[in-house]
Amino acid sequence: MREIAYAKINLALHVRRRREDGYHELETLFAFVDAGDVLTARPAEQDELTVVGEFASQLTDPFGNIAGRALAKLPRSQRLAVALEKYLPVAAGLGGGSADAGAVFRIVDELHGLPEDWRDRAVALGADVPACVESRMCLGHGTGTDLSSVVNDLGSTPVLLVNPRVPLATGPVFAGWDGEDRGPLPVGPASQIAERGRNDLEAPAIALAPQIADVLSTLRDAATLARMSGSGATCFALYADPEARDVAAQRIARDHPDWWQMTGKLRP
């Protein structure tokens, strides 16, 4: 079986408050790009996970990897050998590990079905894993685990992802949030939420990785919307048509050959 671990982006991310349990109360618009890591699976005598690709060297412990932990979380009658081609950067605001876990859940679902409590098992791996299992645009509340539907009028929108190749841990970014509640997500279809929303983690992320500001400045040149995703450092840009996206991608590759990028479309 072959499954894509679709890159997750936050079209908007509003941080409302710090909770007593140490987590943060969030409101976010999850979206997924039709590209990402690639997982293949085959029956095996025991569970195995091998990782290859550009960013494989950053994942030195296969079963410390969230994809390996996802295998261990799901009851099955058949063990699986999973090969993960790691195209998404690590600690990048794309939910790469969660996307990999989501792909494992979909593989197991196709082969064996998921247990009724699969959402609880997904949450135990990470707050955004349930959204990544379904990999469809949705709203997230609480710590990102409470999901609800949204009118997706942005399906097939051309998107460009850019990362300055600066890993950025989530904890320090949240710790740098100034604690000011700037209000809830806007109400309406996805396009209105994205346009009128914001990412409250951009400022603390830029304080830790100033290169993010350079990426955003470059992306905003021709995009209909450019914003940082999650806790960074990856930024995304939406475009009116694939031609505008591809021209921007070529220009960035020429002017910033050290930056990572990926092109695609938003999933319907």
Residues designated as active site: 8, 128
Q: Give counts: helices (H), strands (E), the chain.
A: 9, 10
Question: Exposed, middle or buried, 203 (CB in 10 Å: 0-12/13-18/19+)?
Answer: middle
Decide the pairing of beta strands 79-85 and 138-142.
unpaired
CA separation for the pair 55, 202 (Å, rounded) = 24
Tokens matching residue 217: 């400045």
Instruction: Kindly report the backbone phi and psi dihedral angles of residue 232, in degrees, each rounded to the nearest multiple of 5, phi listed first.
Output: 80, 175
Q: Are 8 and 187 in contact (CB under 8 A)?
A: no
For residue 73, the surrounding DSSP H or E stretch is helix 66-73
